[in-house]
Amino acid sequence: MIRPDFKKMDGLVPAIAQDAATGEVLMMAYMNEQAWDKTLETGEVHYWSRSRQELWHKGGTSGHTQAVKSIRIDCDDDTVVLLIEQKGGAACHKGYRSCFYRELKDGEVRECSPLVFDPKEVYK
Protein backbone atom coordinates (compact mmCIF):
# COMPACT_ATOMS: atom_id res chain seq x y z
CA MET A 1 0.00 0.00 0.00
CA ILE A 2 1.13 3.55 -0.64
CA ARG A 3 0.50 6.38 1.77
CA PRO A 4 1.60 10.01 1.58
CA ASP A 5 3.89 11.40 4.26
CA PHE A 6 1.48 13.87 5.84
CA LYS A 7 4.07 15.01 8.40
CA LYS A 8 6.19 16.84 5.81
CA MET A 9 3.84 19.73 5.04
CA ASP A 10 1.87 20.30 8.23
CA GLY A 11 -0.54 17.49 7.47
CA LEU A 12 -1.41 18.40 3.87
CA VAL A 13 -0.21 17.08 0.51
CA PRO A 14 -0.93 18.50 -2.94
CA ALA A 15 -3.38 16.35 -4.88
CA ILE A 16 -3.59 16.80 -8.64
CA ALA A 17 -6.75 15.50 -10.34
CA GLN A 18 -6.13 14.33 -13.89
CA ASP A 19 -8.65 12.85 -16.32
CA ALA A 20 -7.78 9.15 -16.54
CA ALA A 21 -8.91 8.87 -20.16
CA THR A 22 -7.44 12.05 -21.69
CA GLY A 23 -4.63 13.08 -19.35
CA GLU A 24 -6.10 16.57 -18.96
CA VAL A 25 -5.18 18.22 -15.65
CA LEU A 26 -8.48 19.25 -14.07
CA MET A 27 -7.57 20.69 -10.69
CA MET A 28 -5.17 20.82 -7.77
CA ALA A 29 -6.25 20.76 -4.15
CA TYR A 30 -4.94 19.38 -0.87
CA MET A 31 -5.52 16.19 1.08
CA ASN A 32 -5.00 15.44 4.73
CA GLU A 33 -5.07 11.94 6.24
CA GLN A 34 -8.83 12.07 6.71
CA ALA A 35 -9.39 13.00 3.04
CA TRP A 36 -6.95 10.28 1.91
CA ASP A 37 -8.67 7.61 4.01
CA LYS A 38 -12.17 8.68 2.91
CA THR A 39 -11.08 8.65 -0.75
CA LEU A 40 -9.75 5.10 -0.40
CA GLU A 41 -12.86 4.01 1.51
CA THR A 42 -15.43 5.43 -0.93
CA GLY A 43 -13.67 5.43 -4.32
CA GLU A 44 -14.67 9.09 -4.76
CA VAL A 45 -12.22 11.91 -4.16
CA HIS A 46 -12.30 13.86 -0.92
CA TYR A 47 -10.08 16.86 -0.24
CA TRP A 48 -9.29 19.12 2.70
CA SER A 49 -10.69 22.63 2.30
CA ARG A 50 -8.09 25.07 3.61
CA SER A 51 -10.55 27.98 3.50
CA ARG A 52 -13.34 26.17 5.37
CA GLN A 53 -11.03 23.96 7.46
CA GLU A 54 -13.13 20.87 6.78
CA LEU A 55 -13.29 17.67 4.79
CA TRP A 56 -14.72 18.27 1.33
CA HIS A 57 -16.34 15.58 -0.83
CA LYS A 58 -15.66 16.82 -4.36
CA GLY A 59 -19.05 17.24 -6.04
CA GLY A 60 -21.01 16.80 -2.83
CA THR A 61 -22.99 19.97 -3.60
CA SER A 62 -22.79 20.20 -7.39
CA GLY A 63 -23.02 16.48 -8.21
CA HIS A 64 -19.78 16.77 -10.22
CA THR A 65 -17.95 14.01 -8.35
CA GLN A 66 -14.62 12.39 -9.13
CA ALA A 67 -14.40 8.60 -9.33
CA VAL A 68 -10.90 7.28 -8.64
CA LYS A 69 -9.39 5.08 -11.34
CA SER A 70 -5.86 5.01 -9.89
CA ILE A 71 -3.58 7.01 -7.63
CA ARG A 72 0.06 7.81 -8.22
CA ILE A 73 2.47 9.11 -5.60
CA ASP A 74 5.75 10.91 -6.19
CA CYS A 75 9.17 9.69 -5.11
CA ASP A 76 9.14 11.83 -1.94
CA ASP A 77 5.69 10.59 -0.83
CA ASP A 78 4.41 14.17 -0.59
CA THR A 79 2.34 14.73 -3.75
CA VAL A 80 -0.34 12.58 -5.35
CA VAL A 81 -1.87 12.44 -8.80
CA LEU A 82 -5.43 11.16 -8.83
CA LEU A 83 -6.39 9.65 -12.17
CA ILE A 84 -10.13 10.15 -12.14
CA GLU A 85 -13.35 10.02 -14.09
CA GLN A 86 -14.97 13.44 -13.76
CA LYS A 87 -18.72 12.96 -13.34
CA GLY A 88 -20.98 15.75 -14.59
CA GLY A 89 -18.33 17.27 -16.81
CA ALA A 90 -16.90 20.03 -14.60
CA ALA A 91 -14.11 19.98 -12.03
CA CYS A 92 -14.00 23.73 -11.42
CA HIS A 93 -16.32 25.44 -8.93
CA LYS A 94 -16.55 28.31 -11.45
CA GLY A 95 -18.30 25.90 -13.84
CA TYR A 96 -15.43 25.06 -16.17
CA ARG A 97 -14.31 21.57 -17.16
CA SER A 98 -10.87 22.33 -15.69
CA CYS A 99 -9.75 24.77 -13.02
CA PHE A 100 -6.95 25.56 -15.47
CA TYR A 101 -9.39 27.21 -17.88
CA ARG A 102 -7.20 30.18 -18.84
CA GLU A 103 -3.95 30.20 -20.73
CA LEU A 104 -1.36 32.72 -21.84
CA LYS A 105 -0.28 31.90 -25.38
CA ASP A 106 1.49 34.13 -27.90
CA GLY A 107 1.03 37.11 -25.56
CA GLU A 108 -2.75 36.65 -25.37
CA VAL A 109 -4.89 35.35 -22.52
CA ARG A 110 -7.79 33.14 -23.56
CA GLU A 111 -10.16 30.56 -22.13
CA CYS A 112 -9.07 27.06 -23.06
CA SER A 113 -11.59 24.90 -21.21
CA PRO A 114 -15.35 24.85 -21.77
CA LEU A 115 -17.88 26.32 -19.37
CA VAL A 116 -20.10 23.41 -18.29
CA PHE A 117 -22.48 25.02 -15.80
CA ASP A 118 -23.47 28.34 -14.26
CA PRO A 119 -22.21 28.38 -10.65
CA LYS A 120 -24.96 30.83 -9.64
CA GLU A 121 -27.50 28.14 -10.49
CA VAL A 122 -25.64 25.26 -8.85
CA TYR A 123 -24.46 26.90 -5.60
CA LYS A 124 -27.62 28.66 -4.43
- The pLDDT profile of the chain, 124 residues, written as one tens digit per residue, is 899 999 999 999 999 999 999 999 999 999 999 999 999 999 999 999 999 999 999 999 999 999 999 999 999 999 999 999 999 999 999 999 999 999 999 999 999 999 999 999 999 8
The whole-angstrom distance between residue 40's C-alpha and the CA centroid of its chain comes to 15
Q: Annotated binding residue at 118?
A: no
In a domain, 115, yes or no: no
In a domain, 14, yes or no: yes
Q: Annotated binding residue at 112?
A: no
In a domain, 81, yes or no: yes
Q: Annotated binding residue at 76?
A: yes
Q: Annotated binding residue at 78?
A: yes
Q: Annotated binding residue at 75?
A: yes
In a domain, 116, yes or no: no
